[in-house]
Amino acid sequence: MSEGGSSEEVVASYHRRILRETIAKKIAGDILFSSDIGLAMRKWRQYFGIKQSELARALEVSASVISDYESGRRRSPGSLVLRRFVEALLELDERRGGATIKTLARTLGISDMLVSVVDIRELAAPVETGKFVEVIEGEALVEPEGSKYIYGYTVIDSVKAIETLSGADFMRLFGSSTERALIFTKVSTGRSPMVAIRVFDVRPALVVLHGLKPDSVDPLAVRLAKLSNVGLVVSKLPEIGELVERLRASL
């Protein structure tokens, strides 16, 4: 695993990255869809308890620039400026211990979801299902129907998901699109993930099982995949960390 450390440390690093990415998108979206972008920028800066001068130093601009954006004297920032603005808020909060980030995580329900999520990601561009399967060294037991593209993926600790997720939490695993791959790790037979998908009546583009051999998959899981018109694949990669790193590096 390229990030080094134990599997727990690797998963923890993924969680920090997911948390930061999710909250950054929430803040950026709130600002962009606000009727007064400058006022929204000020609201988030104050929510994080950061002074204009402190933020200005982090962005390497003068405090008057921040003031001009917030007051509307300067035209609304472009995407690059807004991204730097949000990243600076998060970076400054992390230096103080990340209290505000943790509060937002609880408020948005991200903390509960992360208990069972190893990684979750929306792809910058859709990827052909065949390429996705190739990246994870997958073997298809049920060929996917419908969409031939994957728009995102979620890597799930199946044991923790069974123990902790409610129906609403399960739906959050889909992120921004159902046209994604749900990758279940620590799987012994593959039955439970497919039963959950059948019960909640959801249809991801692809279900990937990790932690077992193709001939160990429960025949019921295969039948349920066919009934739900969901592609079913077994990843032959031995380690969860390697699986996530390949996805991050290749897609």
State the pairing for strand pair 138-142/231-235.
antiparallel
Range ranked top by mean pLDDT from 58-62, 159-163, 177-181: 58-62
Q: Out of 56-60, 93-97, 108-112, which region has the weakest mean confidence (pLDDT)?
A: 108-112
**In the structure, what pLDDT confidence band is assigned to residue 1 with cuts at 50, 70 and 90?**
very low
* The pair of three-digit structure tokens given for residue 154, joined into one six-digit string: 């979620």
Give tens-digit pLDDT for 116-140: 888 888 899 999 999 999 999 999 9
CA gap 77, 38 in Å, rounded: 9
Give tens-digit pLDDT for 37-84: 999 999 999 999 999 999 999 999 999 999 999 999 998 888 999 999
pTM value?
0.69
> Residue 3's pLDDT is what?
42
Backbone angles phi, psi at 121, to 5 degrees: -155, 140
Domains of the chain, start order: 7-107 (1.10.260.40), 116-250 (3.40.1390.20)
